[in-house]
Amino acid sequence: MNTTPVLQLKGINKIFPSVHALKDVDFSLRAGEIHALLGENGAGKSTLIKVMTGVYQRDGGDILLEGNPIFPNNTGDAQDLGISTVYQEVNLLPNLTVAQNIYLGREPRRFGLINWKKVNQDAAQLLKGYDLHIDVTLPLSHYSIAVQQLIAIARGVDMSAKVLILDEPTASLDADEVQSLFRIMRDLKARGIGIVFVTHFLDQVYAVCDRITILRSAELVGEFVAANLSRTELIGHMLGKELAELGEHKAQTNENRDEALLTLQGLGRNATLSAVDLQVCKGEVVGLAGLLGSGRTELCRLIFGVDKKHTGTVTFNGKAVNFSSPRDAIDAGMGLCPEDRKHDGILGQLSIRENMILARQIKQGWWKFISRKEQEEIANQYVKELSIATSDIEKPIEQLSGGNQQKVILARWLAANPSLLILDEPTRGIDIGAHAEIIRLIRKLCDQGLALVVASSELEELVAFSSKVIVLRDRNKVAELEGNDINPQRIMQAIAAS
Amino acid sequence: MNLTKNQNLRRYLWPCAGLLVLLIINAIIAPEFFHIEFKDGRFYGSLIDVLNRAAPVALLAIGMALVIATGGVDLSVGSIMAIAGAASAYYITKGVDNLAIIIGAGLLAGLIAGVINGLLVGYMSIQPIVATLILMVAGRGIAQLMNEGQIVTFDHAGFSFLGTGDFLGLPFPVVLVIITFIIVQLLTRRTALGLYIEAVGANPSASHYMGLNAKAIKMSVYCVAGLCAALAGMIAAADIKGSDANNAGLWLELDAILAVVIGGASLMGGRFSIFLAVIGALIIQTLTVTIILSGIPPKFNLLIKASAIIIVLLMQSPRFQQQLSQLNFWSKKKESNRV
């Protein structure tokens, strides 16, 4: 293999107003290799890619392309320099033809006019090289995502790419399609193109990649040769803490754990989650472990009725239930803090007070208006109880820090007085102080008799409060750990399936 | 605590200040502007005229404020005015004398139109601007069919009262605006509906996770907008004692949207205030009067109106306010002194 780096990033820093998104990150890509870029959500993968492709400007560090420093200002610049990107959602134009898409902005011309015949001929010829024998005069949207992705790759490579970045290209492909994508990737590698491969599927990393770079919490963990890195080590690097440093299981067991509150039997949904069995008792915290895309979030959504189940039964509070919307789940006594706080959680323009009382108000019904005075009492009570750092409950919630926003969302559900609270990644993207407070709060709520289901990618966190840990992998439940089995090693082994 | 209170106050300050400035300009140009006289049990004066003429747009703006708060827009309200007027006229010319039936027909027409908009936007997820464009175009056609292509005139003392009567000395259209305002205000601010509407507009996804039924909420705001438009349409018909399908409420949907925007609402949805929407409607009407009073040739009317609106909107934009304060030499100096 050629060992000269075609693309080299040195000491890259990227600082956003509220977060330091990349801290002195190095990355080096050789010509003719497939290099995996791994990390959990928020680790800095997408930021790093956006810096490479000119979407973001770096705040420090150097980018060298074939040894020369480059300063791409936008994706067009990066493309001209030879860095092409293909995203999970194909960013071509669905209503133009395949051929038009491939030659968009660089159409072959004759007498100043576009030579459509040549466009179509060249496009067909180009795609043949990728084993794609399709009608290039049909609109792009006529073809499956897999084909569209190959077309995007063909376009990118044809524009003289030296570096090809594939950002989660396999997320919406089936097994056969993934195999043909891998064939193309190996072809391109043989032609000397350097490929950056971003994915959440570890099998795929080991199937095609030569080297692996891992990021965690905006920092570089390291660069590894794929063949020398075991799965368990890999997951250890992604989720944090080396195996040796991990602590003991600290979760307390609860006395009234025999009273089953929620029982799932074979709960599943086509294409998102295979049958899951689970029992949650009063005063118990059940942790959901697994990598991103393992089915954690999907399970939370299914329980709460955001998505409709296709198989299985749910028993809650001794009654068989079949939720068709979150409203049903809320009325039955559940609450859910979603993973994506900004998109699914906060009502940005509305005040802290309004954000806090809304779930309770909805549960009561619109005509039983909670008076302004009562609203203020509720809000002030929770601001104090959860020590939310704000001087004013009338402030728009978007002006709070991530940790305080998360506390407001927690307060929103506590005010609705649920018997089961589902928290999907409650500590993502919040600072260390608030992180610890939220973990303490989870323990306290559990002591007060509330049942919680908490999905998290942080193992220490799960170990710290769970009395039972469910491990999910590839949309299947693969392990249920209790008692002394709840330790980071066991969880990690279950995630890695070794 | 003062900071947030100031922000809320500022929301009300700019539109109200704008209206006040226009009124003062009017009073300077025409000293008799504020003169109000009580004659035959009724108030007369330019100010009363402004209120009376602003009534249809104010009614539309009340409904529009709710629709815009959910992140939508209703382009069909002008056409709904025409339909409602035609529906009432239809019964009057058929010889129906019962006022409840005549008014009921108009309101029902508005409600049906609102339900159609609500179905298209809420339940079929069609973009509001497209969904309501359908009825904006089709509505006038429907009204023309109801009028059989004619301008239908009628004489019905009871119905005409809607447009020309008075109550407690105030023109009846103004009374109708006040009543509608109070009902909608109670409905949205003394129940949780107002908060629900703002929640759906501020973040539809988060609202869904909290169990809000966005479809039903959207349906209800388009129904309110339809009813408000029907009321405005009947006032317009009663005023001219006729139903003109081509011209009743023509382009008033744009004035209504403008009124809501002048009132400081964001077209992206979220916070709303029907009080400010009504102030917006008054600003538009006052401005029209200002132009007439100042004796500027009528051909400049539209341009002056547009310029005044740009100024009002700029004054409300936080970014513009910021830039303005940066331009301000005095405040810059003060800041540097502080450093």
pLDDT in tens, B26-45: 889 888 888 888 888 888 88
CB B164 within 8 A of CB B172: yes
Task: Report the percent of chain A where pLDDT is more than 70.
Answer: 93
CB A360 within 8 A of CB A370: yes
CB B78 within 8 A of CB B136: yes
The predicted-structure confidence for A61-115, as pLDDT tens digits, reads as follows 899 988 889 888 888 888 888 898 887 777 788 889 999 988 887 888 888 888 8
For residue B208, the chain A residues in CB contact (below 8 A) are: 306, 326
Spatial CA neighbour of A445 closest among A401, A382, A363:
A382
CA–CA separation, A171 vs A187, rounded Å?
21
| CA distances for B316 relative to B14, B263, B310, angstroms | 6, 9, 10
- Least CB–CB distance from A392: residue in B4, B190, B271: B4
Is B192 close to A363, i.e. CB distance below 8 A? no
Residue B5's pLDDT band (boundaries 50, 70, 90)?
low
- DSSP E strands in chain B: the ranges are 37-39, 42-44, 152-153, 166-167, 170-171, 242-243
- Least CB–CB distance from A349: residue in B209, B211, B270: B270
Segment B94-112 mean pLDDT:
93
Residue A272's pLDDT band (boundaries 50, 70, 90)?
confident
Is A327 close to B191, i.e. CB distance below 8 A? no
| Residues A184, A226, A294: CA angle, nearest 5 degrees | 80
Residue A431's pLDDT band (boundaries 50, 70, 90)?
low
Residues in B whose CB is inside 8 Å of some CB of A read 1, 3-5, 8, 190-193, 195-196, 198-199, 202-203, 205-213, 270-271
All structural domains of chain A with their residue ranges: 5-95+139-239, 255-496
Is B202 close to A350, i.e. CB distance below 8 A? yes
For residue A297, the chain B residues in CB contact (below 8 A) are: none
**pLDDT surpassing 60 at residue A249:** no
State pTM to two decimals: 0.75
Q: Count Cβ neighbours within 10 Å for each residue of A15-35 and write b for 16 or more, e otherwise.
A: eeeeeebbbebebbbbbbbbb
Is B210 close to A362, i.e. CB distance below 8 A? yes
Is A345 close to B208, i.e. CB distance below 8 A? no
| CA distances for B70 relative to B193, B199, B278, angstroms | 12, 8, 18
Q: Kindly indicate whether the ipTM for this predicted assembly is greater than 0.90, answering yes or no.
A: no
The confidence score (pLDDT) of residue B335 equals 44
Is A366 close to B210, i.e. CB distance below 8 A? no
Task: Classify burial at A11, counting beta carbons within 10 Å of its beta carbon; exposed 0-12, middle 13-18, buried 19 or more.
Answer: middle
**Number of A–B residue contacts, CB under 8 Å:** 87
CA–CA separation, A203 vs A296, rounded Å?
19
Mutation site for A-interface testing, chosen from B187, B196, B210 by largest number of A Cβ within 10 Å? B210
Higher pLDDT, B264 or A380: A380
Segment A391-418 mean pLDDT:
89
Task: Pull the structure tokens for residue A178.
Answer: 């993934």
CA–CA separation, B334 vs B272, rounded Å?
36
Which range, of A135-139, A278-282, A314-318, A431-435, averages the lowest pLDDT? A431-435
Beta-carbon neighbour count of residue A91 at 10 Å? 11
The residue whose two tokens read 């990150």 is A25
**pLDDT surpassing 80 at residue A253:** no
The predicted-structure confidence for B260-272, as pLDDT tens digits, reads as follows 998 888 888 889 9
CB B277 within 8 A of CB B265: yes
Segment A425-429 mean pLDDT:
81
Spatial CA neighbour of A285 closest among A254, A306, A327, A314:
A254
CB A464 within 8 A of CB A249: no
Q: Do domains A5-95+139-239 and A255-496 have the same CATH topology?
A: yes
Spatial CA neighbour of A194 closest among A428, A8, A423, A354:
A8
- Least CB–CB distance from B209: residue in A331, A344, A391: A344
Higher pLDDT, A145 or B288: B288
Spatial CA neighbour of B184 closest among B221, B230, B219:
B221
CA–CA separation, B37 vs B46, rounded Å?
10
Domains of chain B: 43-320 (1.10.3470)
Residue A495's pLDDT band (boundaries 50, 70, 90)?
confident
**Residue A372: CB partners within 8 Å, gap ≥ 6?**
none
| CA distances for A372 relative to A59, A354, A376, A396, B282, angstroms | 46, 10, 6, 17, 30
> DSSP secondary-structure letter at A243?
G
The confidence score (pLDDT) of residue B7 equals 66
CB A36 within 8 A of CB A205: yes
CB A98 within 8 A of CB A136: yes
Beta bridge partners of A289: A471
Locate the chain A residue with the closest alpha carbon to B190: A369
**pLDDT surpassing 80 at residue B291:** yes
> DSSP secondary-structure letter at A297?
H
CB A357 within 8 A of CB A375: yes
For chain B, the residue count is 339
Higher pLDDT, A268 or A170: A268
Is B5 close to A363, i.e. CB distance below 8 A? no
Residue B327's pLDDT band (boundaries 50, 70, 90)?
low
Residue A244's pLDDT band (boundaries 50, 70, 90)?
very low
CA–CA separation, B97 vs A312, rounded Å?
63
Locate the chain A residue with the closest alpha carbon to B5: A394
Alpha helix positions (H), A386-484: 402-415, 432-447, 459-465
**pLDDT surpassing 50 at residue B333:** no
Locate the chain A residue with the closest alpha carbon to B270: A349
Is B210 close to A325, i.e. CB distance below 8 A? no
Residue B288's pLDDT band (boundaries 50, 70, 90)?
confident
Amino acid at A169: P
CA–CA separation, A202 vs A308, rounded Å?
29
Name the fold adopted by A255-496: Rossmann fold (3.40.50)
Residue B127's pLDDT band (boundaries 50, 70, 90)?
very high
CA–CA separation, B260 vs B84, rounded Å?
23
**Residue A280: CB partners within 8 Å, gap ≥ 6?**
A260, A261, A262, A263, A286, A420, A451, A453
Is A412 close to B8, i.e. CB distance below 8 A? no
Which range, of A220-234, A394-408, B281-295, B324-338, averages the lowest pLDDT? B324-338
Sign of CA dihedral B69, B72, B75, B76: negative
Name the fold adopted by A5-95+139-239: Rossmann fold (3.40.50)
The confidence score (pLDDT) of residue B1 equals 43
Sign of CA dihedral A344, A346, A348, A353: positive
Strands A60-65 and A68-69: antiparallel
Residue A251's pLDDT band (boundaries 50, 70, 90)?
very low
Is B195 close to A358, i.e. CB distance below 8 A? yes
CB B115 within 8 A of CB B219: yes
CA–CA separation, A214 vs A227, rounded Å?
15
**pLDDT surpassing 80 at residue A433:** no
